[in-house]
Amino acid sequence: MKVASVILARGGSKEIPMKNIMDLNGHPLIYYAIKASQQSDTQETWVSTNSKRIAKVADMLGANVLMRPEELATDISPSEDALLHFANTIEFDVLVFIQPTSPLLERHYINTGLSKMENYDSVFSAYEEKGCIRWGKGESRIWPIDRTIHERPMRQEGSIALVENGAFYITTKEALLRSKNRYSGRIGTIIMPYSSSFQLDSLDDFSIIEAIMRSK
């Protein structure tokens, strides 16, 4: 059984241009996803990108590179389209989809996910959230989710919710091509601590994640 990982790293981020190769604690951001994959039980590490600059960095870091068509790398292109492009181009049996915006990911979480594939069709990483009161937000009003304003459960009485942290997803090639989705069938989770679940989406996040890295 061949296990491959793919890191989707397009070059056209509007909020932070070329975010995936910006310096984070002495390394380009994509370094951390590549390192986690290379140190895990995956057999091949791939970067799918539309950017020659990102491709060069990925190659220097020892990853395989698949150039992605521009139409699969726009602001509104679903990740699933890029995953299907990868699945239709590269040979593998099990796919680990790693997002470069989760630089706190460590190899043992990936390995735990791969071991769970014996009992599941796909798995994803998440953290647990207990007893938080959530509100929905519209243009002109807000509303409590799953309760009324007269109900306020004690924190210890609240149910545990699983929150996707976006670090990685694992599925089989067969399931991906059939469902055209990163997860399908019987779905399992790998629980990561909240402190390892931060995603890098803004410049402020760089400072927060660097502080976490330096404290370890």
Instruction: Name the residues annotated as catalytic.
Output: 152
- As to burial, measured by CB atoms within 10 angstroms (0-12 exposed, 13-18 middle, 19+ buried), residue 136 is exposed
- Residue labelled with tokens 């997860």: 183
List Cβ<8 Å contacts ≥24 apart for 72-77: 73/10, 73/11, 73/12, 73/49, 74/12, 75/12, 75/14, 77/10
Comparing C-alpha atoms, which of 104, 7, 2, 90 is closest to residue 49? 7
Rounded to whole angstroms, the Cα distance separating 178 from 121 reads 12
User: What's the distance, CA 134 to chain centroid?
Assistant: 23
CA dist., res. 184 & res. 122, Å (int)? 6
